[in-house]
């Protein structure tokens, strides 16, 4: 299991990140300040650092240099959203930069993208009785192939990587189809219905009132 260090001084934000990363299958460790984060990096091996810039003690920019000396990928999480701050973080070696407040689904996508860049991302997901291989874009049940269209596969992968998270129709549409969601579109609903039928997942994918859909855990 991949291990992520969360260096974040605001405990409610850190807890929200931990809960959702754990649901997505990651092991998480929290450091409330820069000194604790540095100590943890000395003591344990991590696959990724989620780093708040404004940490007490050793700030995120200082900690960045230490993380990079350990060849540890870093995603900055910060309320400092100016272009100048983003450029500074990226020039120092940050692999990505996410400005608060952010959507959990976006954080999970960026975490996966950075891990994949370092060949650390897990390509095989097991969800209920189904195996999803993102590298070969195949879906099987008990060794038998389940035929999905390209968009059905992308939709399933999005749901599987965000289990127990209610995803807005807008988020689903913009992630899978890549365009702006038009409120009257039935595209998402129709694809969900097809996916549930092909996977025999009547109860596993739930409709969330006035929101969208959630893959149960």
Residue 52 belongs to domain with CATH number: 3.40.50.2300
CATH value at residue 185: 1.10.10.10
Structural domain boundaries enclosing 192:
124-215
Q: Which residue in this structure is represented by tokens 């994949």?
A: 116
Out of 117, 142, 174, a domain closes at: 117
CA nearest to 188, candidates 180, 178, 177: 177
Render pLDDT for 31-86 as a digit per residue (tens, 0 to 9): 999 999 999 999 999 999 999 988 998 888 889 888 988 889 999 988 876 677 77
Number of domains making up the chain: 2
| Structure tokens belonging to residue 155 | 């939709």
201: confidence class by pLDDT, cuts 50, 70, 90:
very high
Mean pLDDT in residue range 133-158: 93
Q: 119: phi > 0 → left, psi -120 to 50 → alpha, else beta; which? A: left
| Structure tokens belonging to residue 53 | 């810039």
Q: What is the dihedral of CA 111, 117, 118, 121, to 10 degrees?
A: 50
Out of 117, 144, 166, a domain closes at: 117
Render pLDDT for 74-127 as a digit per residue (tens, 0 to 9): 999 888 766 777 777 777 788 998 988 888 888 988 998 899 888 887 778 889
Query: In the prediction, which pLDDT does 183 show?
Result: 67
Residue 120 backbone phi and psi in degrees, to 5 = -110, -15
Query: In the prediction, which pLDDT does 8 show?
Result: 95
207: confidence class by pLDDT, cuts 50, 70, 90:
very high
**Facing residues of 144 across strands?**
141
- Taking the C-alpha atoms of residue 156 and residue 41, their distance in angstroms, rounded to an integer, is 35
Maximum pairwise Cα distance, the chain? 54
Out of 85, 117, 149, a domain closes at: 117
Question: What's the chain's average pLDDT?
Answer: 89
**Residue 131 and residue 159 in one domain:** yes
Query: In the prediction, which pLDDT does 82 show?
Result: 66
**Residue 71 and residue 10 in one domain:** yes
**Facing residues of 181 across strands?**
none
């Amino acid at each position: 299991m991949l291990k992520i260090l969360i260096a974040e001084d605001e405990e409610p934000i850190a807890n929200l990140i931990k809960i959702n990363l754990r649901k997505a299958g990651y092991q998480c460790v929290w450091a409330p300040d820069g000194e604790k984060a540095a100590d943890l990096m000395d003591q344990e091996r991590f696959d990724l650092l989620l780093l708040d810039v404004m940490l007490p003690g050793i700030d995120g920019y200082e900690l960045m240099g230490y993380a990079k000396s350990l060849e540890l990928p870093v995603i900055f999480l910060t309320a400092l959203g100016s272009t100048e701050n983003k450029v500074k973080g990226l020039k120092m070696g940050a692999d990505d930069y996410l400005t608060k407040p952010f959507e959990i689904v976006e954080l999970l996508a960026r975490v996966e993208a950075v891990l994949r860049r370092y060949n650390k991302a897990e390509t095989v997901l097991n969800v209920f009785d189904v195996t999803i291989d993102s590298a070969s874009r195949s879906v099987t049940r008990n060794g038998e192939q389940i035929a999905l269209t390209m968009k059905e596969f992308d939709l399933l992968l999005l749901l599987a990587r965000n289990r127990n998270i209610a995803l807005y129709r807008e988020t689903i549409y913009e992630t899978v189809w890549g365009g702006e969601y038009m409120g009257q579109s039935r595209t998402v609903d129709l694809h969900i219905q097809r996916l549930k039928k092909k996977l025999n997942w009547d109860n596993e994918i739930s409709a969330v009132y006035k929101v969208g859909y959630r893959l149960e855990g």
